[in-house]
A and B are shown apart, each in its own frame.
Chain A
Amino acid sequence: MKRFIGLRGAASALIAISSVGLFSTAVSSSGASAAGSTFVIGSVNSVQKIDPDVVTNFLDFSALGLIYQTLVQENAKLQIEPDLATSWAFSNGNRTLTLQLRQNVKFDDGSTMNSADVVASLQRAILPATNDASASFIGSVTNIAASGANSVVLTMSHPDVSVLEGLSTVNMAIMPASAITAGTIATKPDGTGPFEYSNWVANTSFTMTANPTYWGGKPSLATVEIETIPTEQSISSALQAGTIQMGLLSQPTVVNTLPKSYGIQKVMTLSYRALQLQDKKGVLANVNARRAIACATNRKQIVQDAVFGQGKVVGPVPLGPYATTPVSAICPTQNLKQAKKYLKLAGKPKGFTFTAITSTDLDSTSAAQAIAMQSELAKVGIKMNIQNLASAAYIQDWLKGKFQAAFAENGADPDPYVMYNRYFGADANYPIPAGYSSSSLKSLLLAGDENSTTAGQVKDWKALSNNLTNNAVWIWLFDSYDFAALAPTVKGFTLSPVNSTQLASLANTSVS
């Protein structure tokens, strides 16, 4: 017996280590309560930048949208509503926009917001050296001037009612003129929102505290922390362990594993999936070849295969008052007979071959979309080769237009001008990846932008959608959901589809 004492010691150590799980369950609740004073949000992404003018990452918009505010904002129905501007009016044939500012609004540094701050903020946004990614949305603005302490006047080079949409993004955040002068914006956020910046650990966490002087009333959550958790499965586990109170998710498979007691909120994302085509050369220069692809595509099947049915087939304008209905002017649903007719008209009755690029780094569902589409196109003899690229390679090829077709997830906007002027407008930023241009599209975009009546815009934007889909410029596929999983104790949170205000209702959220 004595001779095996050493082995027994090793076995005892093993058992002791294995028992830790049993003992430690007793302390799990204490661990959760330690984090209880902080409302923790788990996300696979991390805050990348804290200068609101240069952010491009979705989470950056959501996080900084709690600290900074804009003159106007989009509500859950994607309609423009007041934020730091209480009212506004277009004049001079939609070439001048006058905004009245909210009064008694304080920045985190204690100073009161006035028109000088607004002018300085917008001027910083359009300054080329700032590299503001949304500067083009207010590219028509030629002058920004204060009109008294609480009014600002924007002068545009041409009639442009879409400028309001441009002002609603965090990239147009209002910040103190003194902070702009001091050059502290990129290191210490200072806004007027419900929360104040507290701490940022790159790739780990971003922490905010309640703003006691918030004009909308001090939030009940004392501290909000966005914690980077590398996988959605780990977010689900942390939520169930009670160490986080909210998880931002996009994978339906993970959402479905959560018990029913957890609140699941889902909203259509303000984006869309499309197969972008290079329409200027090769077989895809033939409009009937493109139409054949459009008619052979089974969008419902793609939604099923790519996001397990958690999405909606959409046209060029996925959401908002100008949403495209039906989703396409030709073949809104799969029509193989019609696809074959278009192939004959294209002079390719037996079909043709083209290559589509995907990047699962950028959109994890893109390969599933491509495979689903590949099998449907094959039914009419169209062979689609698939090339999956790393994110950087995809971006470089996309920007240079070095592709025949590209599965893309593009940001959307309720205003079709903001969405498509960058691709097809006279002053487009992305004419090369857009792969198509026409004078009729440019005219439609301008007409819709200059039209200030709702009825007129509905008509203009419907014509735009029809033009895009009738020419099968791209093949618009679907929009998917974003999910917020909430601990059972969380009350009052509503997920917004708009990036800049996605988490805005945290101002009214409480934990019971």
Chain B
Amino acid sequence: MSIILAVVRRTLSTIVTLFGVSVIIFVVLRLLPGNAVTESLGVSEGLLTKAQIAALNHYYGVGQPLLQQYWSWLHSLLTGNLGVSLVSREPVSTLIGTALPVTLELAFFAMLIGVIIGIGFGMWSALHPGRWQDDIGQGISVVGLAIPSFILGTVLVVFMSSHFHYFPSSLPFVGVFTNPWLNFQQIIFPALVLSLGIAAAILRTTRAAVLEISGLNFARTALGKGVSRQAFVWRHLFFNALTAVTTMSGIQLGYLLGGTVIIEQIFILPGLGRLLITSINDRDFPVVQSVVLIFAAGFVIVNMLVDVFYTLIDPRTRKR
């Protein structure tokens, strides 16, 4: 019952949050100078007559009152219509439908690799505090946190292409069902780059949590009662550290969606991040609004799922 209540409560707050995000992004975009006509024509706008510019404003729908534009967009949104791109004249849902799977696949692989590395090395470090294994773990976390993903990505691309003549992401992107092997090659390197930062954060959290728990009374008692080492590590230490690790993973997943924006640019992946940057440059408001809303929804939903997950793994949270 408490789980259902938690889900209902979080769903309601999610709706309110997304509404707030929609208002903010709508207003902020309109505060920016210029519009789709300016971006489309540049200074050539000055070559057109007022009547021609008025006709273009009407075509791009940029001359309507703000409130009317927002209401029109919100109404369309609630009825499942995301509108039409001002630049390509394609439905926004089609553009997002093409780009979203790329970003989701990238985020999935980055998260998977990050969690494996983070938890693996975090546990390894925590079980060997002060020894060389711990140094390796700490080294990975420092490197992961210190190197920005865009620098690592650029260096990786330049190194692979100049030394191995290898840059699979520069081939037209193929779906996982079309050519799984090429798709894997196109995704794995950007995913590795993105995963390093995630792994570093999870590694440090895992290490700290496991070290803390291993010093608690119940852990010492379990060891004193003769619990096997494997059971002690996984059932007592890892399972109890899972709450902190889950929190950090949820936060990282949220940031990961933002991180894909730059990595998709560097690795030429036609995902949501690249769509967002292109649309911002073109002042293609319908696309920008929808993509930002998706990123925001992703962040909020991930946080909601993390909260729900808490109640599953930690019975104490159900009683609150």
* A interface list, Cβ under 8 A from B: 2-3, 5-7, 10-11, 13-14, 17-18, 20-21, 24-25, 27-28, 31-32, 34-35, 42, 46, 48-49, 56, 128-129, 131, 133, 135-136, 202-205, 227, 229-231, 233-234, 236-238, 240-244, 257, 259, 362, 390-393, 395-396, 398-399, 422, 429-430, 433
A14, A133, A241, A392: the one contacting B166 at CB < 8 Å is: A241
Residue pair A237, B181 in contact (C-beta under 8 Å) = no
Contact call B166/A227, Cβ cutoff below 8 A: no
Known: A202-B90, A392-B33, A392-B34. Is A133-B41 also a contact (CB below 8 A)?
yes
Q: Are A28 and B168 in contact (CB under 8 A)?
A: yes
Query: A14 contacts which of B44, B120, B265 (Cβ < 8 Å)?
Result: B120
Is B38 a contact of A240 with CB atoms below 8 Å?
Answer: no
A17 & B165 in contact (Cβ 8 Å cutoff): no
* Interface: B291 (CB within 8 A): no
Q: List the A residue with the shortest CB-CB distance to B153.
A: A234
Q: Are B170 and A390 neighbours in the complex by a CB distance under 8 Å?
A: no
A-binding segment of B51-59, B66-74, B244-252, B296-304:
B51-59
> For residue B115, which residue of chain A has the nearest CB?
A10
A393 to B166, CA, bound (A): 40
Q: Top 8 closest A-B pairs, CB basis?
A: A392-B34, A10-B120, A202-B88, A241-B167, A238-B170, A237-B161, A393-B33, A28-B166
Q: Kindly state whether residue B80 has any CB partner on chain A within 8 Å.
A: no
A20, A24, A237: the one within 8 Å of B162 (CB): A237
**What chain A residues lie within 8 Å of B154 (beta carbons)?**
233
Interchain CB contact under 8 A, B185 and A399:
no
From B14-22, B213-221, B226-234, the one touching the partner chain is: B226-234
User: Would B234 and A25 count as touching, CB distance under 8 A?
Assistant: no
Whether A229 contacts B268 by the Cβ 8 Å rule is yes
> What residues on B are CB-neighbors of A14 within 8 Å?
113, 116-117, 120
A-chain residues with CB within 8 Å of residue B39 when the two chains form the complex:
391-392
- Least CB distance from B149 to A in Å reads 15
Q: Is the CB of B170 within 8 A of A128?
A: no
> Taking A13-B116, A395-B42 as contacts, is the C-beta distance between A243 and B167 under 8 angstroms?
yes
Q: A2-B230, A203-B278, A390-B33 are in contact. Are A7 and B120 (CB under 8 A)?
A: yes
Q: Which residues of A contact B42 (CB under 8 A)?
A: 56, 362, 391, 395
CA of A233 to CA of B157 in the docked complex: distance in angstroms?
9
Contact B265 A237 (CB under 8 A): no
A230 neighbours in B (Cβ, 8 Å): 265-266, 268, 274, 277
Task: List chain B residues, Cβ under 8 A from A131.
Answer: 48, 52, 55-56
**Interchain nearest-CB distance for A215 vs B (Å):** 31
Q: Does B170 lie within 8 Å of A244, measured CB to CB?
A: yes
Inter-chain CA distance A399–B275, complex, in Å, is 29
B165 in complex: contacting residue of A11, A28, A203, CB < 8 Å = A28
CB pair A129–B55 under 8 Å, yes or no, is yes
Chain A at the B interface: SS class: helix
Among residues of A, the one whose C-beta sits closest to the C-beta of B95 is A202
- CB < 8 Å: which of A133, A231, A392 contacts B44? A133
Measured between alpha carbons, how far is A227 from B38 in the docked complex, in Å?
Answer: 24
Residue of A nearest to B120 (CB): A10
**A392 contact set on B, CB distance < 8 A:** 32-35, 38-39, 283
Q: B257 on the interface (CB 8 Å rule)?
A: no
Shortest beta-carbon distance, A124 to chain B, in Å? 14
* B181 / chain A contacts, CB cutoff of 8 Å: 27
Question: Are the C-beta atoms of B170 and A229 separated by less than 8 Å?
Answer: yes
Using a CB-CB cutoff of 8 Å, which residues 112-137 of chain B contact chain A?
Answer: 113, 116-117, 119-121, 123-124, 127
B87 sits at the interface (CB 8 A): yes
How many angstroms between the C-alpha atoms of A35 and B124 in the bound complex? Answer: 44
For A399, give its contact among B32, B46, B123, B267 (CB under 8 Å).
B46
B45 at the interface (CB under 8 A from A): yes
Any chain A CB within 8 A of the CB of B40? yes
The listed residue (B40, B113, B172, B277) touching A17 by CB distance below 8 A is B113
- Residues of chain A contacted by B162 (CB below 8 angstroms): 237, 240, 259
Q: Could you tell me if A205 and B172 are in contact, using CB atoms closer than 8 angstroms?
A: yes
Q: Is residue B85 contacting chain A, with contact meaning CB distance below 8 A?
A: yes
Chain B residues with CB under 8 Å of A391's CB are 34, 39, 42
Give the residues in chain B near A31, CB-CB below 8 Å.
168, 171, 182, 185
Whole-angstrom distance between the Cβ of A256 and the nearest chain B Cβ? 13
B83 within 8 A of A: no
- Interface assignment of B192: CB less than 8 Å from any CB of chain A: yes
Q: CA of A395 to CA of B53 in the docked complex: distance in angstroms?
A: 15
Is B4 an interface residue when CB atoms closer than 8 A count as contact?
Answer: no
Nearest Cβ in chain B — how far from A47, in angstroms?
10
Residue interface bits B147-169, CB-to-A below 8 A is 1, else 0: 00000001001101110111110
Tell yes or no: B43 within 8 A of A by CB: yes
Residues on B with C-beta less than 8 A from A5 are: 230
Task: Determine which residue in A2, A34, A203, A205 has the highest number of CB atoms from chain B within 10 A of its CB, and name it.
Answer: A203
Any chain A CB within 8 A of the CB of B270? yes
- B34, B45, B85, B230: the one contacting A3 at CB < 8 Å is B230
In the bound complex, what is the Cα–Cα distance between A229 and B40 (angstroms)?
19
Cα A390 to Cα B185 with chains together (Å): 37
- Cα separation A14 to B182 with both chains bound (whole Å): 20
Q: Is the CB of B167 within 8 A of A237?
A: yes
Q: How far is the CA of A27 from the CA of B127 in the complex (A)?
A: 40
| A20-B185 CB under 8 A given contacts A6-B234, A243-B167 | yes
A48 and B45 contact, CB distance less than 8 A: no
| Complex Cα gap A229–B167 (Å) | 13
- Whether A241 contacts B33 in the complex (CB less than 8 A), given A7-B123, A429-B46, A430-B46, comes out as no
Contact A237 B229 (CB under 8 A): no
For the complex, is B188 an interface residue (Cβ under 8 Å from A)?
Answer: yes
Q: A35-B171, A48-B87 are in contact. Are A136 and B47 (CB under 8 A)?
A: yes
Q: B33–A396 contact, CB under 8 A?
A: yes
- Cβ–Cβ < 8 Å partners of B44 in chain A: 56, 133
Interface: B49 (CB within 8 A): yes
Question: Which A residues touch B278, using CB under 8 A?
Answer: 46, 203
Given contacts A131-B48, A393-B34, contact A231 B265 (CB under 8 A): yes
A240/B265 in contact, CB under 8 A: no
Q: Which residues of A contact B56 (CB under 8 A)?
A: 131
Report the Cα distance A204→B271, complex, angstroms: 11
Minimum Cβ distance to chain B for residue A411 (Å):
9
Given contacts A17-B192, A31-B171, A391-B39, contact A237 B158 (CB under 8 A): yes
Contacts of B33 in A (CB 8 A): 390, 392-393, 396
- Decide: B161 and A241 in contact? CB cutoff 8 A: yes
- CA A222 to CA B88, docked complex, whole Å: 26
* Residue in contact with A20 in the complex, picked from B158, B188, B283, CB distance below 8 Å: B188
**Is there an interface contact between A240 and B165, defined as CB atoms closer than 8 Å?**
yes
- What is the CA–CA distance of A31 and B34 in the complex, to the nearest angstrom? 42
Q: List 29 A-B contacts (CB under 8 A).
A: A10-B119, A21-B160, A27-B182, A32-B165, A34-B171, A35-B171, A48-B87, A128-B49, A128-B51, A128-B52, A129-B52, A229-B268, A230-B265, A234-B266, A237-B158, A237-B162, A238-B161, A238-B268, A240-B161, A244-B170, A391-B39, A392-B283, A393-B33, A395-B34, A395-B42, A396-B34, A396-B38, A429-B46, A433-B43
